[in-house]
Amino acid sequence: MSAILKIDNLVKRFGGLTATDHVSLEVMPHEIHALIGPNGAGKSTLINQLCGELRSNAGTIHLAGRDVTNLSVPDRVALGLGRTFQITSLLDEVTVRENIGMAVQVREGGNFRIWDAARRRHAVWVETDALLVPSQLADRAEIRVADLSHGEKKQLELLVAMAMRPQLLLLDEPMAGLGHLESQQMIGLLRRVREDAAILLVEHDMEAVFALADRVSVLVYGRIIAQGRVEEIRNDPAVREAYLGAEDELC
């Protein structure tokens, strides 16, 4: 089975600082691959390279077998790359359903000036409602986004990303700011999402990482120091040292 994402010896330098130091990893179809590391490890830099927001100094990025190393952000999205952010980026003054519907419409070649037209487009709303079904938002579809909780907004952002039909989702701390119940709801939603898209998950919540990940890569000072299955990473001495010896952080 071919990798959806293949990174080979990726490098990013800022002056004399090497923020991404010859990073290599693969994400397989329907896999959840977690990228973890302490603050300042270079996770955000790597994600921005994968998205195309930062150009790399060396190395290659392949998405579904296609070399995307030098492609623009829109070109990567068109080839099946999706992303969510630490801070949600939604349209607060419209409803949950309309946020997703607009994403479906944009994917089909429309734009954000679609209100009347989109309401007449049956297929857009059929797909929108299907995306809502596995989430906790199915009964909140007509609620204005501004009135949602933080956890609900996080779920909605994920559904908006899925409306673009990505092959690979880059998720930047989807658990950030969530309470225990909201985290469990997000974990359940991500397990459903993986049926349609592979996931590269950047996350500090170790409970969520170990509940979700098939494999884990550990980034420290821009370099991958360990890769493997959850149990391998949980018991790796170098990983524990990177987390300052905090035994409970990797439980």
Question: pLDDT (tens digit, 9 = 90+) per residue, 9-57?
Answer: 999 999 999 999 999 999 999 999 999 999 889 999 999 999 999 999 9
Give the list of residues 6+ apart from residue 5 with CB closer than 8 angstroms, or none. Answer: 25, 26, 27, 50, 61, 62, 63, 168, 198, 200
Q: Which of 203, 174, 170 is nearest to 81 (CA)?
A: 170
Task: Tell me the pLDDT of the chain averaged across its residues.
Answer: 90
pTM of the model: 0.89
Q: What is the pLDDT of residue 198?
A: 97
Give the list of residues 6+ apart from residue 251 with CB closer than 8 angstroms, or none. Answer: 206, 234
- Confidence check: pLDDT of 231 > 70: yes
- Confidence check: pLDDT of 112 > 70: no
The proportion of the chain whose per-residue pLDDT surpasses 90, expressed as a percent, equals: 75
Q: How many Å from the N-terminal Cα to the C-terminal Cα in the chain?
A: 32
The 10 Å Cβ neighbour count of residue 27 is 26
Cα 230 to Cα 172: distance, rounded to the nearest angstrom: 19
Domains defined for the chain, CATH in brackets: 5-89+165-250 (3.40.50.300)
Interval 65-77: pLDDT, tens: 999 999 999 999 9
Interval 81-106: pLDDT, tens: 998 865 567 889 999 999 999 889 88
Interval 183-194: pLDDT, tens: 999 999 999 999
Q: Which two tokens stand for residue 246?
A: 């905090």
